[in-house]
């Protein structure tokens, strides 16, 4: 598919998709006319990228962790020790983020529940 359709289907813009490609997060074939040609898998991939970006991960990190998320056993190939170290570090950082977000989200939920309670039974 072309860039416009991919943008529409992922809720992004062509500008962003070109940026992600420039950063090495997605790849595309090129038609004879120079138009980018994305395959179907890009839709999910872009959604994943969006989620990770929105969760605070920079493109540089996303680029490093994406390869090990795409498929299964095929990609166990031969990661360098540095790659493994990076993955372990990012795994820990993501866990910390999850913990922080969960704690604060639950606090918001508690607050909202308390508000609703006091609304129903004021004083």
Cα–Cα dist 38/49, whole Å = 15
Within 11-80, residue ranges assigned H as helices are 14-22, 41-54, 59-65
Binding mask 65-94 for DNA (x = CB under 7 A): ------------------------------
Question: How many angstroms separate the CA atoms of 107 and 9, rounded?
Answer: 34
Q: Which stretch binds DNA (CB under 7 A): 16-24, 67-75, 95-103, 107-115?
A: 16-24
The two three-digit tokens of residue 14, written as one number: 């062509």
| Rounded least distance, CB 81 to a copy of itself, Å | 11
Are 66 and 23 spatial neighbours (Cβ–Cβ below 8 Å)? Answer: no
**Contact residues: a copy of itself, CB under 8 A:** 48, 51-52, 54-56, 65, 68-69, 73, 75-76, 79, 84, 87-88, 90-91, 94-98, 100-102, 104-105, 107-109, 111-112, 114-115, 118
| 117, containing H or E segment | helix 81-120
Given a copy of itself, DNA, none, residue 52, with its beta carbon under 5 to 8 Å by kind, binds a copy of itself
């Amino acid at each position: 598919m072309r860039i416009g359709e991919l943008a529409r289907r992922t809720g992004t813009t062509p500008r962003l998709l070109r940026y992600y490609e420039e950063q090495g997060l997605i790849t595309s074939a090129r038609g004879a006319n120079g138009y980018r040609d994305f395959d179907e898998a890009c839709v999910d991939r872009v959604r994943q990228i969006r989620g990770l970006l929105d969760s605070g991960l920079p493109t540089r990190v996303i680029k490093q962790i994406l390869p090990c998320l795409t498929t299964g056993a095929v990609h166990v190939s031969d990661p360098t020790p540095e790659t493994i170290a990076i993955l372990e570090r990012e795994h820990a950082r993501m866990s910390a983020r999850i913990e922080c977000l969960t704690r604060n989200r639950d606090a918001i939920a508690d607050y909202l529940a308390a508000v609703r309670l006091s609304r129903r039974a004021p004083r």
